[in-house]
Amino acid sequence: MAVAKLRMKAGTKGINTLPFAAKGSYIFLNTFFMDKNHCIAITGAAGFIGSYLTGFLNQKGYTNLILVDDFTQPAKKPNFIGKRYARLIDRNSFIEWWTGRADAVQYCFHLGARTDTTEPNYAIHKHFNLDYSIAVWERCYRFNVPLVYASSAATYGNGDQGYDDTGALPTLMQPLNAYGISKNQFDIWASRQEYKPPFWAGLKFFNVYGPNEYHKNRMASVIFHAYNQIKQTGAMRLFKSHHPNYADGQQQRDFIYVKDIINIAEWMMRRKPQSGIYNAGTGKARTFNDLATAVFNAMQLPVNIEYIDTPTDIRDKYQYYTQAKMDKLLAAGYPHQFYELETGVQEYVTQYLKENKYF
């Protein structure tokens, strides 16, 4: 289905949630901690951000975890080997499993998604990013479980309306690909619901990088690809600019270290500010030249950047600038400082990529 036609359906008026009559016995309390005896469900737990969250929670003493994903992919196996958890559940079985167990889960981090921005088949994105997310939401409502889920900055499209999570309505956004459209449709659907979890937050992830993305191949972060390219050739290739306002390599992104993403997600679940959609970036756009330079410096090599034409099939959808407006999160009381690009890249390269380590 064409992107233009999909945008017309952004309101998802044909999708309705049916209120469940029964609820679980778990009583939601707006406390500033997560009980280590309670069960935490993490979807996408074998993936990049989900596996990092699992390790992060393990470090804090949380082991009563339900990890949900497709665990049959060999490339993802190192992401969850060695982690401590209560059980693994295949993503195709999870919803049915949870439906019959009212008190099984007390917190839910829904991070599973189809994230390939170059996949044109909208039906795939709809299944994983919209329909599955609705099923998770309905069980969180039914069983009174707080929910933190992964949205995406891809919902903002080319950024003509800015990157403001307090201003532009999801219905006005114009995502550039099927992935962004599916994520935006769920944001729209969630914001219209009368029946909601006791707390919910959708986090619009900007350009995330960090450990545990080895399996992502072409969808891995620019830092990951830069490191491997420099290691193999001694040079880093960046796309030329095809926009009169940007010099080559001066295209900008809001790059955020996965540690910051997990800090935001965990803080949301603990503190439970006002429910809604929040940006998850640093609020500071940096250039691709900055990023490449940071990688060369971390590898202790001279900077050697080459510029190549942006492929014509993505040129008209290429974003030249993204920068999260972070006022809403900060006004809610978020206390942590974000990693500077150079600091995050230095840690990622020297402690993980060079050592081929996982978190």
Kindly give, in sequence order, each residue whose CB lies less than 8 Å from that of residue 33, ignoring residues fewer than 6 positions away.
270
> What are the tokens at 62?
């949380």
> CB 233: neighbour CB atoms within 10 A?
11
What is the C-alpha separation between 201 and 273, in angstroms, rounded?
9
Residue 68: how many CA atoms within 13 Å on its side-chain side? 23
- Active-site residue among 216, 240, 284, 317? 216
354 is a catalytic site residue: no
Which of 179, 214, 257, 339 is an active site residue?
179
Looking up tokens 């409502």, which residue turns up?
Answer: 141
User: How would you label 271-304 residue by residue, b for 16+ Cβ within 10 Å and e otherwise?
Assistant: bbbebebbbbbbbebbbbbbbbbbbbebbeeeee
Residue type, 54: T
- Are residues 153 and 132 in contact, defined by beta-carbon separation less than 8 angstroms? no
Distance CA 202, CA 307 (A): 36
Q: Do the Cβ atoms of 152 and 179 come closer than 8 Å?
A: yes
Per the annotation, the verdict on 216 as an active-site residue is yes
Active-site positions?
179, 216
